[in-house]
Amino acid sequence: MKYSLIIYTFISFLTTSCAHSQDCIDGINKLPMYGGVKKCKEQIETDNRFLAECDKSSSRKEAAAHMVMRGWQYFYNKKPDTAMMRFNQAWLLDSLNSEIYWGFGNLLGAQEKFKESIPFFERSLKLDPNNSRVLHDMSVSYGNTFVQTKDKKYLNASINYLKMAVNLEPKNPQFYGELTSAYCYFVQKDSAKKYLKITEQLDPSAINPEVKKLLTNK
């Protein structure tokens, strides 16, 4: 791929500059898929200039993959607004890239909008059903939704998606450790003890010390 620093600096300026029309809603580039709002004329023109600049350098799929990569970099560097802008740019370029929706889900999860994040993980999985990390991250959102609501259907969903992740990565101690913790919410803890044993065989450090203490003291 041929990427120009000048082009992407220009693109960044275009997509983050403020619109001046009264019909423009400000800040939509900090929401997944631009918040689903109808864009004003200026914003549509900005999108078109952005796409035209990308078309000069590479295919849209390649440009989208680059923006996704940049989105993850900003996400892990704790710059969520910039990460969201990059994922939104990727979405403009290639709405069938599964990692875009994974990114949206994780950014919402980081804002503790766990229930809102779930449809984005689901959309990612429709495009790439065998991504164990998306399954894991969706299970985390379901688990946190259970903690917020105390509705056990979310706990059950969290466990189901973790089990699907385990089927894809049967030697991943993190997944087993989280299954152990999830089953601790049940009165009967046979499953929790089962997964505790598996986790300890794979990597004892993957067990939450408080969870281990709870299970081994019974």
pLDDT in tens, 51-85: 999 999 889 999 999 999 999 999 999 999 999 99
Q: Token pair of 16, please?
A: 């983050």
Predicted local distance difference test score (pLDDT) of residue 47:
94
| Token digits of residue 20 | 């001046």
pLDDT at 4: 40
Residue 122 has pLDDT above 50, yes or no: yes
**Residue 36, Cβ density class (10 Å: 0-12 exposed, 13-18 middle, ≥19 buried):** exposed
Do residues 199 and 177 lie in contact, with contact meaning Cβ atoms separated by under 8 Å? yes
Give dist(CA 8, CA 38) in Å, integer: 25
